[in-house]
Chain A
Amino acid sequence: MSGPLLELEGVHTHIGAYHILHGVDLQVARGELTVLLGRNGAGKTTTLRTIMGLWHASAGHVRFDGQEIGAQSTPEIARKGIAYVPENMGIFADLTVRENMILAARGAKNAEEIDAKRLEWVFSLFPAMKKFWQHPAGLLSGGQKQMLAVARAIVEPRHLLLVDEPSKGLAPAIIQNMIAAFRELKQTDTTILLVEQNFNFARQLGDQVAVMDGGRIVHSGTMAALAEDEALQQRLLGLSLGAHQ
């Protein structure tokens, strides 16, 4: 099937009295990793939450695989094969790593029912998950929590991953591990929409890139083109992102 896997057209989102998204047009191509860049408050997280149905668009269309999902509830959207890793990681701190993974694997009633081969693969990406399998997730370090959040999103095959700032607050070594994991993930034909502020991180992973500002997409194109064009980077990303490079 052709056409983008996910498509936003003229999406407006209000949160209470505040108008956050002002007509977002975004296409996420199948099998590719699209990075959504932009400074704080540009509307990146709101875009992901709107896709997930956690907030509903007041106008515009959200289409997944050609089908309108804008009016559906969050669980319905998730069941279409969309996984979400929120900025706060959404770890259930009182539950163990194992229990977190059981919940992420919708088809499994207990740990034994999680696809063993898939789980081994997840462990190979994030060995810490195997090591701390029986530990409360709240005791994990920040980087390990981020790994758990991503591991949860991929423990069963999903069509689309929405990942909000996976590099936030992580040590450089952990970021390298995360980049490696995403590269591995890209091999599995999973489509990924990644929100980032760290351009360096984004540049190593992205196929496509979209830049947000003031609740709109102000630029979209290939990552390769943006990576080569210093002037464009300066213009689009401003100084706040320059600091990361």
Chain B
Amino acid sequence: MSDVVKDKWAALRQATPARIALGRTGAGLPTGANLEFQFAHARARDAVHSALDMDALEAELAPLETIRVASAAPDRANYLRRPDLGRKLAAGEADKLNARPLCDVAFVIADGLSSAAVQAHAASVVHAARAKLEGLSFGPVVVASQARVAIGDEIGAALGARLVVLLVGERPGLTVADSLGAYLTYGPKAGVKDSQRNCLSNIHGKGGMSYEQAAEKIAWLTRTALERGLTGTGLKEESGTLTQENAPHIGEA
């Protein structure tokens, strides 16, 4: 490795997760650092483009009833180009949700921009949150593919749910490719504004929010929202310390 100039400040790496002190060969990245980067990017790309394994997710959600629906985006390429299509159900899909008893809460799982996040964390968060919401009535868990956050509005309205808890795969970064977000919307119906939702972000296993923490916050927000009849900027999360300022831009609006 005689061609590689090592950087003397490698000890500073403890101060930041940034890719510092990588060393160099000429002006280039050493082979190892270059491959590490490619690996991280490949993992993030796979998280965006891999299809959600619906059977595996349903098995994990059992014994809860699940319904699969598709958004109006016919495939991943269209989903990425047309955020509007990912926000609404494909024609006829709402029929799967009609004529059911009204409920307090419906959980919706949307693949979003990281199927890896949904695969890894969504079922666990649903189970943990439901365990803290005894006494409320629930609709079936709706699993939506090629879906963005606002699809929960149409689903919640069709189910006659008072509140929707939508779990979604967040835009993957190089360090964390499987981060899950949760959006709570009271009175779901088409046309709800983003300012009328509450959001939890960074649910994942690499220093992010744990399932228990997420469940606690979801439960507090759900009960408070049902009691006060609103979600959004008028409802501040008070169940513990939650900083939303650092939340990544999810690009889901």
Chain B binds chain A: no
